[in-house]
Structures are given as structure tokens and as C-alpha cells.
Structure 1
Amino acid sequence: MSGRDQGGRSGGLRLLSRLLSRREWAYVLALLVPFVGLNLALKASRASALGSGGAGYTGFLAPDLLFCAGYALLWVGLFAAFRSGWGRWCVVVLFHASAVVVALLTVAAYRFFAVTGSRLDLDTVLYFLSSPGEVAPVVASEASPVLFAAVAAALLYALLGPGLLAWAVGGGGSSRPNPRPTWRAPAVAGLWALVFVSLSALVGAARGPSDGMLSGSPPVELVAAEVGHLGAARTYGVDAARVRENLPTATSLKPTPGAEKRNVVLISLESTRARSVTPYNRNLKTTPFLDGLSGESILAERAYAVTPHTTNALTATVCGIDPPDREETESLGDRIPSRCLPELLDDQGYKSAFFQSVKEDFERRPQVAKNMGYEDFYSLEDMNTTGFERANYFGYEDDAMLGPSREWLEQNGEKPFFATYNTITPHHQYLAPEGRHGRKDFAEDDQLNRYQNSVRYLDFFVENLIRQYKEMGLYEDTVFVIQGDHGEAFGEHGRYQHDNVIWEEGIRIPLMVLDPSRPASRVKAPVNQLDVLPTVADLLGYRIEGGEYPGRSIVDPLPEDRAIKASCWYENECVASVKGDEKYVYHYGARPEELYDLSEDPSEKNNVAADAPPGYLKARREELLRWRAEVEAAYGEGPGS
């Protein structure tokens, strides 16, 4: 070895020794090396699962390598800057805490993305932390005991491992005194840390969205998403005060000469997409009973959810107004800026009840139902589950509602009433109860097949409920609204479940109105859940006074080019609008805009946004963003609130 090489090597060692002592290096590297290894292993594992290898790994790993380099330099610099005393103790505590938190976030981000296809953001993390009772069963359903044991072991090592290793390196004795603190080297390390983390963000952003892959390092993506959300928060000239002045908060029903006080029943089909029920997919024999009912009903051929999440969908349906995004979901138990169907019908002498075979505290559902105006509320805690199977981590199969339903109808069926049955069986985990009805083979994929069987179960539940009404002599005097609250995805566009699925599998729903006093008909124009409240008022013979709801009665002729809008549950994640056969999707810059011709491309495989006329996409985007700003203003979150 040449003298120059030896000198360079010894110079490098002297520089390292000036930064930290041997024991300090052992301490820092004992935590940094596993931290870096975890990050890279998770990304490499994901890339390998997608069949990427060789040179492909370099592109996938680059953002993570840069982030890990920056993270390591940051802590080396801090350890070098604070040599002793309280400063050093603070650095040690923060070092361990940040490594644990960032590692947990990274593991959670990869697992969350694998399960849902969505990227973890700060709002999701805060939601998980603030709702442990709701989130714990969900997490448990996706985490094996082996994973929990591995996380526990990793946490134990993170707390004790570095200290033990440093003690072993030092031979159990005291280390040499720390050199006098110098700020030059730590400052350089901190500067390079900032450079590497910034490069990580730039490289991840440059890669752009990739199906099945997190493009950047999860911690950097988490921060970048929040920055992007802040940048998307524009007012678009919305007058918040005027928006709130025009909300239907003082509405009432005025009987017309033909008004009839008939019963109204809303059956909300959990996670039920249109393509998975027989009336909308003749090749899939999941719901023969619903198929028969569709021949007797007003069937909306193209119906959409406003937001693919249950509480939000109920707000759109029962209250007739656009629902808020995720951040405001729970606050619906405190305020809904509208008079909802139970309140409107209560003025006309109606009783009301809400039934669900789900635990009552989910998303503060009792408070939400009360705020909507329901008099009586029944949840899983009010039901005898003996003989019924668990449908998922939230509740039991929906037939558990039949007993309480019959009891309530026996007590209240003499007066007109509004009853809502909120089903749960097709929700993830898709356990598909098979005790009474068995299972059939609808798909090769096990998860999709369990889901299709769960939808099949709903067909039996609706049949049993309709039979109950017939046996009690209530059928002929009841209007039944049967609709999906939202759809469900199985990777058709890289996402799973429903919260952030803006494509047809996520928001296209079944919707039929069964009125025994009216002949069957078909509605070809696009409709959505906002149209339910005006339709019910129309069928009962009432005129709405004191304000306007944004929906339209589907009994009346509707323009086929009307604009139907939808948004994801996550704030500033995605929005869409359907006009005629044309559907536009905007992802707030996280991925390219999309435009589809649904008449030629119902599965949304061919994005024709590049062929749109100049300015067309911008106009569609501005229309949607202004709509969301108005919704935020309605719930007191807009400018001037």
C-alpha cells in the first residue's frame, strides 16, 4: 500500500475519531445499521414481489438510500455536537425515540400500502392514534403473531441493544474522555444530511407514482404529502358565509293533494359495488333476489356514491347534502348542516329507527344517528348474536338485525315510520358467513371470492327483511330504497378496499327504489346518493319548502349530461366528476389526470386525457376543486369560517 493510501486512510480514521469515540461509534451504528437495513429490506422485498430485479433495484432503492444517508449523518452530527451533560442525554433519548417512530412508520407505510394500495399520510396516522378502539381490530386482522413478536423484539433491541454493544466494545470500562466539542464537523454533517434528504424527496417525486410501489422513502413521502395538501388548500373564490346561508337547515315537507303517509325503509348495502350484483352484471349470479326486485323497481342504471365511506355515504343519502372528508367524519355526531329525512318526516308524524349489526361506538354512530334525527338506535350490543356468525372485526352477519327489527315494528308499525338498516357483511375481512347458505365459487382469487359470497349473503338478508315486512302486513304501504353505500376494489387500479378508490369499482353502486304502488322503470341518466332524499319526498307526495337540496328526484326526467361529483375519503387525495359518458379524475398532482369514455371503456383502462381539447382538463379540475371548497365551507372549515 502506498504512503498516500496509508496517509489517506489514517487521515480518514483520525477524522472519524474526532467526530466520535470508538464506543460512541459502536453505540450509534448499533441502531443505525439495523434501521438502514430495515428500510432497504422492505423496499427490496416489495420490488422483488413485483418482479423487479437487477438494475431495477437501483431506481427503487435510490430514495431510501439517500434518506438513510441523510438520517445517519444527522445523528452522527448531533452526537458529535453534544458531547456530554443534558445536551447529550437529550440527543440519546431523541435518537432512540426517532429511530423507533420512523421505523414503525416505515413498517406501517409498507403494510398499509400492501393492504390498501394507498399511501400512508399524517391524517391516517393521527386517526389511528386517536381511535385505538376502532383501529386495533383492523390492525390485528392484518398482522400475524409472528409480526407482533418481531416488532416487540425490535423495540426491545432499540432500547437496550446500542448500550450493551457500546459497553462490550469498551470492555466494560470507562471510555476515554470526549474530545472538546467542535461545531464545524457537526455543521457539515447536518448540511449534508439536509442535502441527502432533499435529494431523496426529489428523486422520489421524479419517479412519480408507480403501480404497486411506494416511489419514495415512506417518511419523506409522509412529509411531502402534507406539503402537497397545504398547497392544494385554495379557496377558488368561495364565499363561505353565502354557502352556509344557502344550506338546507330550515327545510320542511309540505303535503300535496296526493300525499300519502307511507313507510320508508332504507337498506344500505355495505361495500357493495354495482358490478358485483346481478342486476348490473348478468354474468354474475350473486343476487338473484335483488335481480327479481329490480324488475319491480325504479332502477338507476348509473348510480354513484359521493364519498366511498359509510358514514359519509349515509350523510349524503339521509341528509341530502355533500358529506365532508375524513377529518370531519366523526364530527358529524356534533353537527350536520342540513335537516335530514328523520327530522323532516318527524314533522309529519313519523317514527324512526336505525339498525346496525355493528358495535355502537364505531365512528360515533349513535351520535351521528341522533344528529340525523333518528329516535331509536339499535346496534350489536342490543342484539342476540347466538347462532350468528361474525362477519368481520366490526360486527356480525346482518340477519342479527331481524329480531330487533320485528320487535320495533310490532311496537311502532301502526304509525308511519322511517327505518334504516345499515348492513356490514361485505366489509373487509369478507368472512362470508356460510352456516345457513354455504358458499359458491364466483372467482379464483380467494379474497374476491369471499367478497362475492358476502354480497350473496346480503341477497338473503334483503329477502328475509322483505319477507318480514310482508308477514307483518307492512309491505304494500312501504317504499324501499336499496343502495350500496360505496363500492370495493381488488387491485383493478392498484388500490384495495374503498376509502381512496375513485374509479368505478369504488363509487359505482346499485340503487333501486321499490314502491309497490308504482310500475317499474329505468333511469339512464347518472344519479348519486344526494338524489335519494328528494326522491323519497316526491314518492310520498311532499314538496320541499324553506330551502333546496342539491339532489333531484329520480322520478322526474333527468338530463343525461348532468355532472355527478365524487371525492375520496382522504382529504386532498382524489376527486372525480361524471358528465354523460365522460369521467374525469384528479389526484391533486400525485399522479396524472385521467379522462375516460365510459361508453367505450367502462373498466377505465384507456386514459384519454392527452387527447382533451386545450383548457378542458383545467376547467373540469377547477369545477371539482371549487365544489370541495364549498363543502369545506358548509362544515365550517372553509375561508371565513
Structure 2
Amino acid sequence: MHRLRPWGLRILRLLDWFTPSVREAWVYGLAALIPLVVLMGERVWVMSRLPTKPHGWDRLWVALGELEFWPVFFAICLLVGRVPNRWWRGGVRVLMHLLIIPVLAISVAELAFFDITGGRADLDTVLFGLQDFARVWPVVSSELVIWDYVGVAVGVSITLIPVFWTPKSNAKTWFSRFCVLALFPAVYNETQGRVRPAKEAKPLQKTFVESLFWEAMDRRHDVFTPPEPADMAPLVIGKPKTPVNVVIVLLESVGANRTSVYDPELKTTPNLLRLSQEGLYASHMYAAVTHTTKALITTLCGDWPNLVGDARESAPGGLPGRCLADLLRQQGYRTAFFQPARQDFEDRVDLVHQMGFDTFRHRDTLAQPIWEKNNYFGLDDRSMLAPGLAWSAEEPERPFFATYLTLASHHDYKLPTHVKLLDFPLITGRVEKYLNAVRYVDDFTGRLVKAYEAQGLADNTIFVFLGDHGEGFGEHGRYQHDLTIYEEGLHIPLVMWGKPLAGRTGIIEGNRQQIDVMPTILEVVGAPVTAGKTRGASLLAPVPEGRVLFHSCWRSHRCIARRDGESKFIDHYGDPNAQSFDLAQDPTEKKSRSLSKAEREALTLETRAWHGRVRGRYEARQAEYVQTIQRPDDAPAIATWGGVVSLLGCDVTNPNVIPAESVWVKCRWRPEAPLTEAWTLIAEIKAAGRTGQEKWTPLMGVVKMWNWRPGWSIDDTFRVATPQYTRPGEAVISVGWQRITGVAVKTDDGRERVNVGAAMIDKRPLQDAAGLEGIALPEPIVYGEEWSLPLLTETSSEAAEASDGDLDADPPVVDDRGKAEPEKAPAL
């Protein structure tokens, strides 16, 4: 004992040195204690809302994650704060408090994300939300409750108290020594491995910071497989032999199991059911990725999307190849994309342009006093009817390709106030709201077909109706769609209807996917593939023998699946464990089959190999674009900014637009000297006393400006939106440059802006109960129960005249009864 006494004294002295004083406990301990209490409370609340409530011990094991993280965080801050330099100590203290604020806020938001979706967020989710906060916040705030705000506000307020006031005492109490001793069990528990709770609570055990760390470790093992030369060959088609019109309608968040086509007892889609009986429908149609932007790539480009969370496909060189709109446009087709949602979310306007659509109609171009704002994204689906019909009838001698993307059935499933909701037996709450939204989308499909028939456009038009993805309501603990890799998220409806089908009716058998739509359309219009190849197979041909389909969640490294016949394998990247289902015996995926270790590893390798091939091809596409975008050019300059960047020429690609539509301008630039910073392009449009301005990152950041080669030219296409409320007439477009500091760069002759082109702004036609410019729209087509759904809200002539009159004033607002309310703010 005598020989051990000095070591014991040293341990006690070390413990005493590590013990915080009253002042240190206040500064560092309070900062860690409050987030601990807030997040533990949030976790308990989230667990109480799970479909299967975890028992008490499971809640303890889940809370233990926070009990371990924040005390360790406190200990690290305490050690760093013990350095002799007082300025360093003060900096550490301020930095710690500033760091806690975003960590606490993001952690609470992430737990709310789990409560809403049933899955954990990842780094991509956080970056996406921070980079596009103004557009993402309406989506997030729609699901937050008052206690989320209260918890963050109280936590941040108390955490900041030590920044402004701290006690003077440096004494060390026995309570402080006890708290330090309590740290050791937490550290020991980490080294020995945590006790795992039941399956339903297991995803919540890691703190958000831990989750990000282990995900980053997992991504280090990603392998991107370089593509074969044949995979990089561009797709080329020949002249269509039967150039019929093509209309694709993407049904937002409509799963097959929520339609009357696949469940006749469910009276949600009577119109779609009738069309399926008169045409073709696919019995086993599946989404590739459970997210709308990715579904657009799969459907309209015939290839798998980039398996990342952000919309990289909207950037130059971001697409996997040529899309259907681009291919048909080169063969003389007119192309247009319609959506009642906003244009800026996930860079939709850029994506549509990259795909090759000539015309894009979105919320701001469709906005009229008669249309209600449907949800946080946009307007009533019916706002697309009259503009879409008018566009389709513009040039009857040319075939057209139109795509409609509906909105009403997207979360949060709000419908216009005049709609009378149906009661679905034994279904209540959010599911009932969703089914009514699906019914409303079905009414849009009926109106659309009837409108084309009334105008004589349906005789030579093929219609394709399909879901972009399904929707989950907790069947497997997942909600909405982004992380719903089960059948309720993947199985979607597909109905083909129209006279170009030449009387073909019945069921399209076999496992099909959205990549099959493009080769089907090419077959219908009679356009042979002369170079390259399509990924999918025509829906009009037998399913390829031995076909294997792959699926992915929207969020990277969350879930990925493989489908072979009726066998389905889901890899959750280890959390929870992989699952396997026999869909013939277990169509609702209630019980996972057991797999041997060898089988599980082989299937995991196969699914991740697919992920690597897809990512590898996109990386190769981007690299190919970067290598070919610059070339030597000695053309004379029109203007030079700061003696560094010269303009060689510009071309307006769509000189005729309507208010709120973007004008696209392709310019050629040449750096005269190396750039050491990224400049911002300022594009401005002036029309009828109104000015619109856009800040544009050249090439959307694909090739950084400091990588531009002096003396080599580079082409960049930018956009600038015309003011929403402006008179018809000519608009002048000018460009300039701005440094990263916000200071404008002037040309060598002293100008800030240089005119590069002009566009003609046409009048935006008014919509009223009589239709659009004499085009009458049909009454609702509803089969079965009556549904009170007036065609259009009646608009007074005074409101219409006001909208077409003095545009310097704010547009009138029309209430639900059609009465003009000029004293209130604009509806949008």
C-alpha cells in the first residue's frame, strides 16, 4: 500500500486538476447541460410518437447517446480552455457558445425530420437546407410544432447567458468532483459498445453529430466504376415515321396502391380507371428513385439519375445523355413543360432547360387572380389546363411533346377551399387528406383528356399517365417518399391511352421501370435509334428475360434495393440490417426472410456495384464536359471588364416570352488573364419601366473561374426572368460583372452594363370561366359518387379588367367567392 500511495495521490491530483471550478462549470457546463436537456426531451417526445412505442429501457438506451456526447463535449472544451493564454481561453469560450447554437438548432430540426419522415437526415440534407434555406423553410415549417421552436429558443437563450455574465468564484466543490467521476461510465460504455434498443428505436440512438461522422466514414468506401466507351456514346434517333403528339402526365406522389386501377374498391381515380380499361396499364411499374426531380430524369431521359441528394443534373454537363425533349425537338417537335409549382425549387427551371424543353410554364407564369395557392409549392393543378391546351393548338402542322407535372397530391395535401372532401370508410387523418388529393389529381387528368378531345387534338395524341413515386404513411415506419424504399413508395401507376395505340388494350406484364417510358415513346412515334442505346425496354415489347431492377432512396447512403422477379432485397447501409422479401408470398413486406451471410454479402455487393456504375458514369460525363467546354479563340471582343474577362458575343435563344418567363441567353466569354477569384454575372432585363435582375454563377460553378484558361473561350447560357407584372413590348437585356465583395467591375471604357440582346414580351392571356381566348374547357369528369368541384372560380369582369389595365399597380386579389379585393396584398 505504501508503494501505491504516490500513484493514488497523483490520480487524485489529476482528478482535482480536471475538476471544473464554479466559474468553469457555469461557463462550460451550463452550455452543455441545456442542449442535453432539450435534446433528451425532444427524443422522448419523438419516441412517444412512433407507431410502436419503445419500452422504458429502450428509451434510456436512446437517451444515453446524448448523455455521452454532451458531457464529452464539455470535457473537451474544459481541457482546451485550461491553456495559459487568457485571450485563447476567451476565444475558446466564445467559439464554443457560437458552435452550440447551430448544433442545437440542427439537431432539433433533424429529430423533427425523423418524426416527419421516419428516417434520419444526413449531411446532404443539412447542406441542402442551408444552401437553399428560403425555399426549403416553407416545407420544414409546415411540420414543426410550437415545442420545437420553444426548445431551441430556450436552449439558445440559456446557453448564451455565460457569454454576458459569469460568477467570480474559482472554488471547486465536491459536486463538481462527483460530476467529473460520472463522466467515466459514459466513456467506458462507449469503449464497450452500447446496448442496442428494439428495432423501432434503434435509428434514434446515435446523436446527429455521430450519425454524420459514421456516414462520412462509410462514404470513404464508395467505388465509382468508370463506364465503358459504349455507355458514353450519345443517343441519336432517326426521323419519326409516325410523328404523333405525345403528352406525359406525371402524377405527384401517387402510388399504385392508392388508385382505383390497382385497387378497384378504392374510389380515388375513376378517370384513370376508365382510361386504363380503354388503353394499357402496367401491372408492376416501379420508380427508380423516390424523389420528383430524380423521377423526371428517369422518365424523360430514359436513364437512372445521379444517386446524390442535390439536383446536379440541372447544371451544365449534369445530364446522363440526351433527353426525350431534346431528341424530339431535333426532329421538328414543339416541346413544353407545365407545372403549377414554383420554378426555383431544386433549380427546376435550369433542369427543364437542360432537358431540351422550349417552353416552361410554372407557378409565376400561370398565376391568375382566380387560382388559389394550393400549398407551399404552388397553385391549383387546373391552372395548367388552359395554357397547356392553348400551347398545344398553336401550330397544328407540327407535332408536339408536352409534359404536365401535377402538385395537389404532394405533402401537405392541401386542396382549394371550394372542394368538398369525400369520406373514405375506416380512413381518417392525413391519409384521408391524401386520398382526396389523389382524387383531385384524377379529376385533372379527366379534364385534360376531355379538353384535348374537345379541341380535336386527342385523335393524334398518345397520353402516358404515371406516378413519379409513391407515398408512405408509416407502413414501415417511413413517411412521405424520400426514404420510402418499400412498395408503397416504389410501386406506381402507369396508364397509356390514345388512338395511336391502334386499339391495343390490356395489361403490360412484367417488372417495368420509369426508364422504359422513353424507348416506348420512340417506338410509338416510329423514331429508330441510330446511335447509342437506351437503358430501358419498350413497354410494348415483352419484358427482357432475366431482368433485374434497382432502386434507391433520394438521400444518399440511406437505402438501396434490388428486384429480381418477385424477390426483393433492401440494403439499409447497415442501419437497420438488410432485408429480403418474397413479394409473391408477402406483398406488403411484413416479414423479412433470413439470408445466409454469403447471400447477404453477394446481394449487397451487387446493389452497391450498381450505385458505383451510375455514379461513375455521371462523374465521367462531368469530366468530359469540363474537358471540352474551353477552346482557343482569338475573335475580337465586344467589351472587356477590368482587363480580365472579354465578351465575344451573345445569342437570345427564346426571344418571345410572357411575363415571369425566363429569357435564356448564350454568351461566349474569354479570360484575358488568370482570375484569382470567382466573379458573379449580373444579368438585367428592362421592359416597360420594369426591371428584372438575376445573379448568375458562370456554368453554375461546374468550371470555377480561376480554372478558365486565358485566351480560350467558354460558352455559358444564363437566364433572367422577365418581371411578373409588366406590359407587352420589347425588353432589353444587359450583362455586367461583380466581384465577390459585391463591387461592380467596369468595362475598359467605364460601363457597368453592356447590352447583349432583346426579347419581345407578349401579353399573358387571362383565364376565366369561359376558358382561354375562346377555348372552352370541359366540366369535371367524375364517375361514381358526385363530387362538388366547380370548373373555375368565377371572376368578375372588373377583376379581369383590373389585371389587364394599369400594371404599375398591384394586381387585384380574388377571394373564394370571386369578389375582387383590391385593398389586400397580391395572392402570390
Superposition TM-score, scaled by structure 2 size? 0.68
Partner of 2:568: 583
In structure 1, the residue corresponding to 2:447 is in which secondary structure? helix
Shift of 1:369: 0.8
Distance 1:496 1:297 in 2: 32
Distance 1:562 1:436 in 2: 44
- What do residues 493-529 of structure 1 show as CA deviations (whole Å, max 9, x unaligned)? 1111111111101111001111323321211201000
Partner of 2:43: 43
More off after superposition, 124-133 vs 22-31: 22-31
Distance 1:270 1:409, change over 3 A: same
Partner of 1:281: 263
Shift of 1:69: 2.5
In structure 1, the residue corresponding to 2:465 is in which secondary structure? strand
The match for 2:204 among 199, 203, 214 is 214
Partner of 1:438: 421
Partner of 1:4: none
The match for 2:251 among 258, 266, 269 is 269
Partner of 1:379: 362
- What do residues 561-612 of structure 1 show as CA deviations (whole Å, max 9, x unaligned)? 42121111111221112111111111122222111111111101121133x6
| Counterparts of residues 286-325 of structure 1 (less than 5 Å) | 286-325=268-307
More off after superposition, 291-300 vs 18-27: 18-27
The match for 2:519 among 521, 527, 534 is 534
Shift of 1:17: 7.4
Shift of 1:269: 0.3
Distance 1:281 1:422 in 2: 23
More off after superposition, 409-418 vs 116-125: 409-418
Q: CA RMSD in A?
A: 3.0
- What do residues 275-324 of structure 1 show as CA deviations (whole Å, max 9, x unaligned)? 00100111211011100110012211000001111111111111111111
Distance 2:187 2:416 in 1: 49
In structure 2, the gaps of 5 or more residues are: 1-7, 625-828
The answer on 1:234 being equivalent to 2:220 is no
Distance 1:316 1:194 in 2: 52
What letter is aligned with 2:326? E
| Counterparts of residues 20-169 of structure 1 (less than 5 Å) | 20-50=20-50, 51-79=53-81, 81-144=82-145, 147-148=148-149, 150-159=151-160, 161-163=161-163, 166=166, 169=167
- What do residues 362-401 of structure 1 show as CA deviations (whole Å, max 9, x unaligned)? 1111111111110101000001343333332111121111
What letter is aligned with 1:63? G
What letter is aligned with 1:226? A
2:270 touches 2:442 (CA, 8 Å); kept in 1?
yes
Distance 1:537 1:95, change over 3 A: same
1:596 touches 1:609 (CA, 8 Å); kept in 2?
no
The match for 1:626 among 574, 585, 609 is 609
The match for 1:249 among 218, 234, 237 is 234
Superposition TM-score, scaled by structure 1 size? 0.87
1:398 touches 1:423 (CA, 8 Å); kept in 2?
yes
1:115 touches 1:496 (CA, 8 Å); kept in 2?
yes
Partner of 2:588: 603
What letter is aligned with 1:108? A
| Counterparts of residues 446-595 of structure 1 (less than 5 Å) | 446-516=429-499, 517-559=502-544, 561-595=546-580
What letter is aligned with 2:290? P
1:630 touches 1:638 (CA, 8 Å); kept in 2?
no
Distance 1:93 1:639 in 2: 42
Distance 1:303 1:537 in 2: 19
- What do residues 326-362 of structure 1 show as CA deviations (whole Å, max 9, x unaligned)? 3452443423121111111112211000000011111
Shift of 1:140: 1.7
Distance 1:127 1:573 in 2: 16
Distance 1:321 1:49, change over 3 A: closer
Distance 1:532 1:474 in 2: 22
Distance 1:253 1:625, change over 3 A: farther
1:390 touches 1:396 (CA, 8 Å); kept in 2?
yes
Distance 1:513 1:90 in 2: 65
Distance 1:198 1:421, change over 3 A: farther
Partner of 1:181: none
Distance 1:343 1:88 in 2: 61
In structure 2, the residue corresponding to 1:113 is in which secondary structure? helix
More off after superposition, 271-280 vs 56-65: 56-65
In structure 2, the residue corresponding to 1:220 is in which secondary structure? helix
In structure 2, the residue corresponding to 1:74 is in which secondary structure? helix
1:310 touches 1:485 (CA, 8 Å); kept in 2?
yes
Provide the aligned length of Structure 1 versus Structure 2.
605
- What do residues 411-440 of structure 1 show as CA deviations (whole Å, max 9, x unaligned)? 234410000001111111111335245333
Distance 1:489 1:451 in 2: 11
Distance 1:192 1:639 in 2: 53
Distance 2:553 2:617 in 1: 18
Distance 1:420 1:55 in 2: 53
Distance 2:187 2:396 in 1: 65
What letter is aligned with 1:162? P
What letter is aligned with 1:36? L
Partner of 2:627: none
More off after superposition, 146-155 vs 478-487: 146-155
1:300 touches 1:512 (CA, 8 Å); kept in 2?
yes
Partner of 1:422: 405
In structure 2, the residue corresponding to 1:301 is in which secondary structure? strand
2:483 touches 2:558 (CA, 8 Å); kept in 1?
yes
Higher percent of residues as helix: 1
